[in-house]
Structure 1
Amino acid sequence: MALDQSNQQLPRILCLHGGGTSALIFKIQTRRLQWALRTHFRFVFVDAPFESGAGPGVLPVFADCGPYYRWMIKDSPTMERDQQRVRAVLRKAIAEDAGTGEWVGVLGFSQGGMMTAGLLADQEEGEETGLPEWQFGVLLCASYPPLSLSRARGYTAPKEMVDEHGEVREPEEKEIIRIPSVHVRGKLDPHFEKGRRLAKFFDQDTSFHLEFVMGHNLPGAAGDTTSSKGDTDRIRDAVLSVYEGDMKRTVSKYGSVYGNGVGLAMTT
């Protein structure tokens, strides 16, 4: 599968890898999705600023692909400075990319998906980050909470966002993210419920929620024996739907159950 990203005029998507991986690994992990969208977008991958150990599922497949990186450091005493470093890394990658197409989307996996949610939340709230204005986001196996680059938000939900049972409460109207988005979750992912909590903060009229029989990975990843052959195509169609503003077309194509036999949730 030879990918050709030489068309520099294609609209661009910024791609954020998971914690304990790298831009190189994420580029390999998303080859199927890149191929499916190769004539529509240019994919730009960037390494996070903080070195770390290998993340879950990285070894032994990517044992020779270090160093590994993460976007945020849990319970960091220098959160604001860390956020500044992340902003600088993203701005540099955006400024140095050879493409000329418009920046249209941000796509992230796992911790990169939390970063994606944070970037969309910052934009929704009018925060100034010096980054493009995203038209849509794609969150792959992401979980709550979003990782903001403007506020000192850590890895746990703020107290005012947790109910008496320790669960994330229903968001208020002002907290809803209305930027179009695609959410992909694995039914076998140990972070599955946290992914559903995150989805509460996205407008259900402008988001697709795809649940596949898989773990904390993308369809067709190394070792994946549960996802279905057409799952990547379904993600492709959902991404194109939010980008082109024609979500009803994809609903019409797949019907109300959108996935591989798990009663996949889908909003229109």
Structure 2
Amino acid sequence: MKQKILLPRILCVHGGGSNAAIFHAQTRFIRHALRDHFEFVFVDAPFECDAGPGVLPAFEGCGPYFRWTALKKGEDEGAAAWKVLRRLVEGPGSERIVGLLGFSQGVRAVMGLLLRQQAALYPTARTSPMRLRFAVCAMGGEGHPLRLADMRLDEAIRIPTIHVHGTQDYILPQSKRLLKRNFDQSSVKVLTVDASHHLPKRMDENARLADMMLEAWLSGGGNEAFEGDLFARAQNNCLATTRREETQGVLIECA
């Protein structure tokens, strides 16, 4: 029997007023471009809300909709976000999640995850449950990273990131300020696309984004990710599946 090849996974973090299923549809072009290289995992944010900008009318009736930031004063948005993200990045199968793709408000959660990995929370990098090699920050607005642990939020993010900016995006100035204030400029790359506040739709732009993501993955040693003990662990974990699963706000699309 031919051994199943386990692809590395990218955790996709939707924007405000959306959900995992909607973001799955919105990422169809980049998923298609990378279908032979990655699997994609989607998760619902913790706070229910109204549909966000650009969600209606295309996704009318596709709720409930969620956001990453709290609407009520006193709610701990960092703790709530960590509760839904932790089982994916530190639970069974977490060794397969090697990258992040965040859109709009979801970029704040992505930044929190990157800072959490970057912080000295574990004795050595090898003992950390998270093994993120890169992240895509698409159309992120201003705002501090979500505090997913007792960590500094003023530290520059050094893990390689790709920033997607839309020439017609109404929050483009905010996206540029976000990049400048929160990221080590030596580890960032920018892709400017002909788009408003949505992921790129043109074939050439998605091809370029796919190339940049693969370059970031491979330059970080991605070609060795599932050799030896990591591959054996990935084979045996409960997320090693051959179908699309949808449980508890998590959507996993497998090869």
What TM-score, normalized by structure 1, do the two folds share?
0.71
Aligned counterpart in structure 2 of residue 240 of structure 1, from 190, 194, 214:
214
- 2:163–2:190 CA contact under 8 A, matched in 1: yes
Give the 3 Å change call, closer, same or farther, for CA 193–126 of structure 1 in structure 2: farther
Is it true that 1:19 corresponds to 2:13 in the alignment? no
Which of 167, 179, 186 does residue 187 from structure 1 map onto? 167
Following superposition, which runs of at least 4 residues in structure 1 exceed 4 angstroms of deviation?
93-97
Q: 1:41 aligns with which of 13, 18, 38?
A: 38
The one-letter amino acid paired with 2:173 is: E
Q: Which residue of 2 aligns with 1:216?
A: 197
- Higher relative contact order (Cα pairs below 8 Å, separated by 6+ residues): 2
Count, aligned residues:
210
One of 82, 86, 93 as aligned partner of 1:87? 82
Alignment of 1:1-268 (within 5 A): 9-74=6-71, 76-79=73-76, 82-93=77-88, 102-127=96-121, 132-145=130-143, 146-150=145-149, 175-200=155-180, 201-220=182-201, 228-245=202-219
Q: CA deviation at 1:106?
A: 1.4
- The answer to which structure has the higher helix fraction is 2
By how many angstroms is 1:115 displaced?
1.2
The Cα of 1:195 is off from its aligned counterpart by 0.7
- Counterpart residue identity of residue 71, structure 1: W
Pairwise CA RMSD: 2.6
Counterpart Cα distance in 2 of 1:148 and 1:187: 30
CA shift, 1:124, in A, is: 2.2
Q: Is the 8 A contact 1:207 1:242 kept in 2?
A: no
Does the 8 Å contact 2:12/2:42 carry over to 1?
yes
Which residues of structure 2 form unaligned runs of 5+?
123-127, 221-255
Distance 2:119 2:142 in 1: 18
Alignment partner, residue 256 of structure 1: none
**Paired residue type of 2:147:** S
Residues 203 and 75 (structure 1), Cα distance of their counterparts in 2 relative to 1, 3 Å cut: farther
> Does the 8 A contact of 1:18 with 1:70 survive in 2?
yes
CA distance in 1, matches of 2:82, 2:96: 19
Aligned to 2:125: none
- Gap change, CA 1:202 and 1:34, over 3 Å in 2: same
Q: Distance in 2 between matches of 1:110 and 1:116?
A: 10
Paired residue secondary structure (2:190): strand
Q: CA deviation at 1:64?
A: 1.8
Whether contact under 8 Å (1:8, 1:42) holds in the other structure is no
Cα 1:241/1:103, change in 2 over 3 Å: same
Question: Aligned partner of 2:79: which letter?
Answer: Q
Write out per-residue CA displacement over residues 205-255 of structure 1, whole angstroms, 9 at most, x where no aligned residue: 2221111121100112xxxxxxx4300111101111111118xxxxxxxxx
Compared CA separation, residues 8 and 23, structure 1 to 2 (3 A): farther
Q: Please state whether the residue corresponding to 1:230 is helix, strand or coil.
A: helix
- Separation in structure 1 between the aligned mates of residue 156 and residue 87 of structure 2, nearest angstrom: 29
Q: What letter corresponds to residue 204 of structure 1 in structure 2?
A: Q
Partner of 2:203: helix, strand, or coil?
coil
Distance 1:87 1:37 in 2: 27
AA in 2 matched with 1:125: A
1:133 maps to a residue whose letter is: R
| Range moving further from structure 2, 99-108 or 137-146 | 99-108
